[in-house]
Amino acid sequence: MPGTSTKDQNPQIETLRVDLGTRGYDILIGSDLIERCGSLCWPVLPGKTVVVVSDDNVAPLYLDRVVASLEGQDLDVKTVILQAGEGTKSFANFQKLCETILAMGIERKTTLIALGGGVIGDITGYAAASLLRGIPFIQIPTTLLAQVDSSVGGKTGINTAHGKNLVGAFYQPLLVLADTEVLNTLEPRQLLAGYAEVVKYGLIDDFAFFQWLESNGKALINGDDAARRYAVHTSCAAKAKIVAEDEKETGRRALLNLGHTFGHALEAETGYGDKLFHGEAVAIGMVMAYRLSARLGLCTGQDEERLIRHMAEVGLRTDLKGLGAEDWTAEALAAHMSKDKKVTDGKIIFVLAKGIGEAFLSSVDDRDALFSVLDSFLSGSK
Ligand SMILES: NC(=O)c1ccc[n+]([C@@H]2O[C@H](COP(=O)([O-])OP(=O)(O)OC[C@H]3O[C@@H](n4cnc5c(N)ncnc54)[C@H](O)[C@@H]3O)[C@@H](O)[C@H]2O)c1
Ligand SMILES: [Zn+2]
C-alpha cells in the first residue's frame, strides 16, 4: 500500500514506503538519523563509494558527522561543498558539479548523497540522473521544506533564464533520511516557510490534519520534536500517496501545486530571493486560491478566514505588505501565471477548493473573478 508506515525496531525511527514498484524507496523519519546515517544507508548502497554533496551553511554543521558515520561502515567517502542559495541551481554550477564528481573517478555504483535543503537535493538529484546516464542517490534533507516536500517524489532539476526548475528529470532516490533534530539549527524564517507546505497537505485533502495543525502548529514551530516528527510523517505520507498514484504529474499530482501558481507569480515579481521565500509565497498563494474559490462560489469566505487565522497564529504573512507590490499590476501577475509549467493547451490549471481538505483541479474561465482577487491583494498591499 502506498504510504503505509511501520515502526522500526528503534522507536525513534518511523519508516514510510513510497510505493513505485522497482523504483520504490523508504523515507526514514526520526531524531538522531545523521549520527546513524552510515548504518541506515549501507543496506541500500550498491557499491562502496559515496559522494556527499552539501552547501557551505550545512557542511560546517553536519558534514563531519555524516562522513564519520559513513566511514564507520568502511565506505570510501568523498565530499563536494557548494555555495548556499538558489543561485547554485544554475547550468554553470551543474556543469561544475558534474565535472568535479567525474574527476573523482566515479563508476555506476557510486552513490551521491544530498545533504542539505531543496537546492542541494534538486541539483544533486539531477546530477545523479545525468552522470553515467544515472547513478544512485540518497537524500538527507535538512530544511523542513525539503523534508516534507522536495526530497520526496523524484523531481530534480535546475533553473534557467526562462524560469525556475525548467530543466530537470524525474529521478527517484534510493532512500530519504529526514532527521527532525537538524531543524533546530534552521533560521526561524526558513522553518516557517517550510511550514506553509505542511499546511498545504491539510488543505488538499486532510481536514483532520489541518485541525491538528491548528492545535499543534505553534508547538511545532517552537521546537516540539514529537510534533515535528508527526507533521513530517503525515506530510510525507500524503505526498508518497499522490506520487505513487501519479509519478510524472499527468493528473492528480498537480494538487500538490495548491497556492503555487499564485505563489510563483509573487516569486517572479520579488526576484526569487530573500525578499520572499518560496514557502512564504506559497502561504499567500494558498490564501489567494481560497479567495478565488470563494469568488467562484465554490467555498465560503470562512475557509479563507480560518486559513488566515492559522497562518497569523504561527507567524506566516498572508498579504503583500512591504513587498513593493504598490508597483505591481494584476496583468503582470497573470502574465507570470500563464508562463507556469502547469499550463496545458494555453490554459492555466488552478488548484481550487470546496473547503479545507477539499482541493481539486480546474481551469478558470472567469477572468473577472481572477483579476478581482489579484486586485484585492494589490490594493491591500500598502
Ligand atoms: N524537487 C521538488 O519536488 C521541489 C519541491 C519544492 C521545492 N523545491 C526546490 O527547493 C528549493 C528550496 O529549498 P529550501 O527551502 O530547502 O532552500 P535551501 O536549500 O536554499 O535552504 C535554505 C537555507 O537554509 C540553509 N540550511 C539548510 N539546512 C539547514 C540546517 N539544518 N541548519 C541551518 N541552515 C540550514 C541553507 O544553506 C540555505 O541557506 C528551491 O530551489 C525549490 O525550487 C523542489
Ligand atoms: Zn512548494
Query: How many residues does this entry show for the chain?
Result: 382
Could you give the percent of the chain with pLDDT greater than 90? 87
Collapsing DSSP to helix, strand or coil, 17 comes out as strand
Catalytic residue (choose from 17, 264, 291, 310)? 264
| pLDDT tens-digit series, residues 235-266 | 999 999 999 998 888 888 999 999 999 999 99
Distance from residue 363's CA to the centre of ligand 1 (Å): 30
Q: How much is the mean pLDDT over the chain?
A: 94
For ligand 1, atom 44, the nearest C-alpha belongs to: 150
Q: Is 253 a catalytic residue?
A: yes
DSSP string for residues in 290-352: HHHHHHTTSS-HHHHHHHHHHHHHHT---S-TTTTGGG--HHHHHHHHTTSTTEETTEEEEEE
Across residues 262-281, what is the average pLDDT?
A: 93
Q: Is 17 a catalytic residue?
A: no
| pLDDT greater than 50 at residue 55 | yes
What per-residue string of b and e applies to 353-380 under the rule 16 or more CB within 10 Å gives b? bebbbbbeeeebeeeebbeebbeebbee
Across residues 79-89, what is the average pLDDT?
A: 96
Residue 164 confidence (pLDDT): 86
Across residues 346-361, what is the average pLDDT?
A: 93
Are 73 and 42 in contact by the 8 Å Cβ rule? The answer is: yes
| pLDDT greater than 50 at residue 4 | no
Q: Which residue has the higher pLDDT, 154 or 8?
A: 154
Residue 156 confidence (pLDDT): 98
Are 58 and 115 in contact by the 8 Å Cβ rule? The answer is: yes
| pLDDT greater than 90 at residue 380 | no
Are 381 and 325 in contact by the 8 Å Cβ rule? The answer is: yes
Is the CB of 57 inside a 6 Å radius of any atom of ligand 1? yes
Distance from residue 331's CA to the centre of ligand 2 (Å): 23
| pLDDT greater than 70 at residue 3 | no
Rounded Cα distance between 83 and 116, Å, is 11
For ligand 1, atom 34, the nearest C-alpha belongs to: 186
Which amino acid belongs to residue 140? I
Residue 382 confidence (pLDDT): 59
Residue found by looking up cell 470563494 in the block = 294
Rounded Cα distance between 227 and 192, Å, is 14
Residue 307, C-beta contacts closer than 8 angstroms, at least 6 positions apart: 199, 203, 286, 287, 290, 318, 356
| pLDDT tens-digit series, residues 304-336 | 999 999 999 999 999 999 999 999 999 999 999
Distance from residue 182's CA to the centre of ligand 1 (Å): 13
Comparing CA positions, the residue from 99, 98, 57 lying closest to residue 81 is 57
Around 218, how many Cα atoms within 13 Å sit in the side-chain half-sphere?
8
Q: Is 109 a catalytic residue?
A: no
Distance from residue 222's CA to the centre of ligand 2 (Å): 22
Residue 16, C-beta contacts closer than 8 angstroms, at least 6 positions apart: 3, 4, 5, 26, 27, 28, 29, 233, 236, 237, 240
Distance from residue 116's CA to the centre of ligand 2 (Å): 16
Catalytic residue (choose from 17, 89, 155, 310)? 155
Residue 278 confidence (pLDDT): 94
Q: Is 310 a catalytic residue?
A: no
Which ligand is located closest to the Cα atom of residue 194? 1
Which ligand is located closest to the Cα atom of residue 187? 1
Atom of ligand 1 nearest to the CA of 156: 1
Catalytic residue (choose from 257, 269, 280, 291)? 257
Q: Which residue has the higher pLDDT, 246 or 15?
A: 15
Is the CB of 116 inside a 6 Å radius of any atom of ligand 1? yes
Is the CB of 111 inside a 6 Å radius of any atom of ligand 1? no
Distance from residue 282's CA to the centre of ligand 2 (Å): 6
Is the CB of 142 inside a 6 Å radius of any atom of ligand 1? yes
Query: 18-22 — which CB contacts under 8 Å span 24+ positions?
Result: 18/152, 18/153, 18/172, 18/240, 18/243, 18/244, 19/240, 19/244, 20/172, 20/243, 20/244, 20/247
pLDDT band at 339 (very low <50, low <70, confident <90, very high): confident
Across residues 34-63, what is the average pLDDT?
A: 98
Q: Copy the grid coordinates of residue 377.
A: 491583494
Q: Is 189 a catalytic residue?
A: no
Q: Copy the grid coordinates of residue 140.
A: 538527507
Is the CB of 353 inside a 6 Å radius of any atom of ligand 1? no
Catalytic residue (choose from 89, 233, 260, 336)? 260
Is the CB of 147 inside a 6 Å radius of any atom of ligand 1? no
| pLDDT tens-digit series, residues 163-183 | 889 999 999 999 999 999 999
DSSP string for residues in 20-78: -GGG-EEEEEESSTTTTHHHHHGGG-SSSEEEEEEETTHIIIIIHHHHHHHHTTT-EEE
Distance from residue 212's CA to the centre of ligand 2 (Å): 21
| pLDDT tens-digit series, residues 24-37 | 999 999 999 999 99
Is the CB of 182 inside a 6 Å radius of any atom of ligand 1? yes
Is the CB of 153 inside a 6 Å radius of any atom of ligand 1? yes
